């Protein structure tokens, strides 16, 4: 009898380990605006739905995969976790047999917060974070030998103090650049700065999540609009800029210029980078015109991305000030990177909202007031940190 039970348990374990797997890439969704995302659990899963009709109770594994930026997606005004839970109930799938893979380093926290507040299910789906920026330049990538980057920094005095590039003007980047304007810190003579502007910015809706606030809309004056777009290495309208950003490099696994292009012209002619990382984090600002939805999302949503915007300066031996979700610098340090608190105040990483914004403005002002010669000396003093960070990124530490 004991042998029979053992055999039965072994057969069951084998069945569980060989569950049929259905995997879906959310890049295949047709409607991908974050505030109105299509219900991918229905639109992408036709083959599984057909399978379920014939096999109504067979255990399966479901994987939803989206490793680009973005996890704050609403489906019928609810975060997409709700749609996955509804999918599990409708098609008789155990939540523990469903995995969502995303690029948000805070995905587990976000899902757990939502689950505790808004779900009656005891079980949970599995979530996995995979930030592409952290492995993009690894030596084991298969295309490392084709990358062009700063291996040894040139020793000559540089012509600019910093770079701050903003192509896709997301709400937090708009807020950041309006604060830069307010503080008189946009100086194209001393920096490589871009502030691209598109028709919806120059003729904004009163419901814009940033410009609906009088403080910020008042800064977008006719005089500032007349100066926009401020362009540096990319020029033209959004379609032309988009085409350049995502120009494919077939020799480098088809990756785009924005990730694997040669940026030495930028990093070798200035001393630090102001990074406005991709984010939809309420640590920075609200993203929806409806304050009820902002309040709902703020109650649980956490988001932190580490993309090429952070790792490309590291690759090119560049220090940076990072406008991103609170705790980003601490997260980088937990991965083995070193930051620059010996050279400027990094307390901005510990606060949210306008306080974070203006602490960063203070740092930028302090550094901008230094002459090029002093920045040059500071840059070379921090070279051991820059070399260390590059080695961690390339995974060549000894």
What pLDDT is recorded for position 1? 46
The reported pTM is 0.91
Per-residue model confidence as pLDDT tens digits over 229-258? 999 888 888 888 888 888 998 888 888 999
What pLDDT is recorded for position 282? 87
Please name which of 307, 319, 191 lies closest in space to residue 256, comparing C-alpha atoms.
307
What is the per-residue burial (b if ≥16 Cβ within 10 Å, else e) of 203-220? ebeeebbbbeeeebeebb
- For the chain, the domains span 2-130, 139-394
What pLDDT is recorded for position 10? 66
3-class DSSP state for residue 373?
Answer: helix
What pLDDT is recorded for position 5? 65
Half-sphere exposure of 157 (CA within 13 A, CB side): 6
Per-residue model confidence as pLDDT tens digits over 251-302? 888 889 999 999 999 999 999 999 999 988 888 999 888 999 999 999 999 9
Strand partners, 127: 100
Least confident of 161-170, 193-202, 206-215, 269-278: 193-202
């Amino acid at each position: 009898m004991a042998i029979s039970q053992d055999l039965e348990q072994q057969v069951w374990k084998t069945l569980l380990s060989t569950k049929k797997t259905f995997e879906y890439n959310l890049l295949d969704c047709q409607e991908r605006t974050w505030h109105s995302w299509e219900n991918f659990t229905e639109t992408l899963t036709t083959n599984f739905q057909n399978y379920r009709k014939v096999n109504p109770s067979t255990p399966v594994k479901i994987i939803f995969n989206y490793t680009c930026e973005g996890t704050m997606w609403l489906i019928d005004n609810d975060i997409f976790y709700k749609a996955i839970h509804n999918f599990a109930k409708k098609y008789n799938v155990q939540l523990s047999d469903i995995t969502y893979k995303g690029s948000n380093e805070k995905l587990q926290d976000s899902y757990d917060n939502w689950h505790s507040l808004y779900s009656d299910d005891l079980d949970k789906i599995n979530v996995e974070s995979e930030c592409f920026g952290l492995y993009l330049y690894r030596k084991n990538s298969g295309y490392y030998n084709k990358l062009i980057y700063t291996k040894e920094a040139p020793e000559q005095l540089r012509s600019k103090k910093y770079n701050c590039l903003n192509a896709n003007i997301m709400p937090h980047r708009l807020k950041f650049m309006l604060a830069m304007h307010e503080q008189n810190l946009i100086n194209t003579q001393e920096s490589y700065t871009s502030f691209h502007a598109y028709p919806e910015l120059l003729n904004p809706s009163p419901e814009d999540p940033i410009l609906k606030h009088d403080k910020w809309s008042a800064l977008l004056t006719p005089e500032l609009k007349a100066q926009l777009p401020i362009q540096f290495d990319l020029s033209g309208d959004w379609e032309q800029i988009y085409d350049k950003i995502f120009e494919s490099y077939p020799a480098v696994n088809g990756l785009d210029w924005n990730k694997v292009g040669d940026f030495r012209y930028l990093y070798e002619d200035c001393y630090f980078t102001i990074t406005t990382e991709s984010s939809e984090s309420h640590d920075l600002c609200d993203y929806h015109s409806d304050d009820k939805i902002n309040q709902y999302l703020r109650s649980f949503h956490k988001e932190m991305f580490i993309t090429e915007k952070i790792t490309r300066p590291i690759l090119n031996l560049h220090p940076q000030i990072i406008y991103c979700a609170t705790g980003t610098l601490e997260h980088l340090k937990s991965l083995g990177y070193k930051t620059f608190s010996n050279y400027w105040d990094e307390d901005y990483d510990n606060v949210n909202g306008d306080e974070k914004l203006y602490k960063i403005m203070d740092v930028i002002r302090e550094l901008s007031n230094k002459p090029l010669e002093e920045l040059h000396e500071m840059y070379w003093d921090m070279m051991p940190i820059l070399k260390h960070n590059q080695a961690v990124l390339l995974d060549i530490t000894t």
